[in-house]
């Protein structure tokens, strides 16, 4: 049986976007983020985080640094009752990278749909029951290119935003 899923951008949706976040001590949760993901988990959604991480290509931090952050977010969300199924990230930047193998045009950097399509390839998801929440038009464009609905989150309380999209039982 196909699953329903929500795709969330990380910076600007789950956490406040201060730019190139990789230090746990600098993480600042978006208001209502933990509660929103716990709510979506209770509603039966698989939760995928899809995030551009060009700071890796730019040499600001490493994949390992980012992974530590993602592991921390996963643990914190689990403690709040939320289950993140998987993180998908793009480490590339076509023009501003200093690491040659990451300074490429790719299919995974939003607004391209590669991260979302990868989840569809790895999981049995019902497209008509999937959507994305992002804070940039490039997030919404990636969702639309993948054939799912995209919603633009402009800040505020993420739980209130999610509850408008997914009313409770």
The DSSP symbol for 38 reads: H
Would you say 4 and 129 are in contact if contact means Cβ atoms under 8 Å apart? yes
| Active-site residue set | 9, 11
Question: Which 3-state string (H, E, C) describes 61-115?
Answer: CCHHHHHHHHHHHHHHHHHCCCCCCEEEEECCCCCCCCCHHHCCCCCCCCCCCHH
Structure tokens at 66: 């980012």
Rounded Cα gap, residues 12 and 136, in angstroms: 9
Task: Compute CA distances 99 → 32, 44, 119, whole Å.
Answer: 36, 40, 26
């Amino acid at each position: 049986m196909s699953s329903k899923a929500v795709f969330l951008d990380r910076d600007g949706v789950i956490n406040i976007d201060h730019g190139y976040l990789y230090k746990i001590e600098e993480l600042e949760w978006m208001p209502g983020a933990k509660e929103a993901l716990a709510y979506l988990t209770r509603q039966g959604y698989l939760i995928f985080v899809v995030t551009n991480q060009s700071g890796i290509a730019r040499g600001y931090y490493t994949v390992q640094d980012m992974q530590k952050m993602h592991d921390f977010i996963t643990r914190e969300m689990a403690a709040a009752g939320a289950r993140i199924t998987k993180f998908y990230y793009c480490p590339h930047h076509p023009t501003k990278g200093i690491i040659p193998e990451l300074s490429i045009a790719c299919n995974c950097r939003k607004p391209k749909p590669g991260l979302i399509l990868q989840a569809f390839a790895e999981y049995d998801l019902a497209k008509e029951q999937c959507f994305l929440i992002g804070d940039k038009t490039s997030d919404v464009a990636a969702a639309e290119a993948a054939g799912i609905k995209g919603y633009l989150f402009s800040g505020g309380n993420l739980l209130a935003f999610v509850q408008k999209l997914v009313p409770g039982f």
